Amino acid sequence: MSVGDGLESTMAGAWVLPADDDRIDGLLVGRLMVTTPNATPRFGAGPDVAGLAAAVDAEIAVLDATFAAHLATLPSSRRSLVRPRWPYVPGAPMSEIAGDPLATEALTLARWVSTLLVAWDRVEKERLARPFLSVRGGDRPRDLPPGWPIPDSKQGAS
């Protein structure tokens, strides 16, 4: 998958290639790779997508608690502040049919990752729209939720 630069680019891609295909190395440069069980022997397990779902859910819980704590500090006349509309975060993939079992497995995983990244994008937009929530993570968009690995090309980026 490639999260691109910033919140507007939450692309996840899937490739089914022979294990010795020369294009593989080029496709992986600067990307965080999530592998299907069939690709794990060659490339390793990579980060856990269920862990990404859990990280997004955990951050939503922290941000929602931060919202509630902020709301409690307001005078009663201002407590009508609207709660953020947090996205649904699927804890498991929805099966995608691609005609080929290997492609189906890769597409299912890629779509799940993409759905989670879109949910994360929405979380960040909700967070950044409320200055009192920016205490959690700063005033710039975060590419990935805390606790989930960042691709090498993203490390050290501000």
Contact yes or no for 5/146 (Cβ under 8 A):
no
Say which residue, 145 or 44, is predicted with more confidence.
145
pLDDT tens-digit readout, 5-29: 444 445 566 777 887 888 888 887 8
Q: What is the pLDDT of residue 36?
A: 83
Q: Residue 1: pLDDT band by 50, 70, 90 thresholds?
A: very low
Tell me how far apart the alpha carbons of residues 121 and 119 are, in angstroms, rounded to a whole number: 5
Q: What is the pTM of this model?
A: 0.80
3-state helix, strand, coil in the chain (%, to 5): 45, 0, 55
Q: Residue 30: pLDDT band by 50, 70, 90 thresholds?
A: confident
pLDDT tens-digit readout, 50-64: 999 999 999 999 999
Over range 34-50, report the average pLDDT: 84
What are the CA-CA distances from residue 101 to residues 16, 43, 92, 112, 115 (Å)? 10, 19, 18, 17, 21
| DSSP labels, 110-128 | HHHHHHHHHHHHHHHHHHH
pLDDT tens-digit readout, 76-133: 888 888 899 999 999 999 988 878 877 888 888 888 998 999 999 999 999 999 999 9
The answer, yes or no, to whether residue 151 has pLDDT greater than 50, is yes
The answer, yes or no, to whether residue 48 has pLDDT greater than 80, is yes
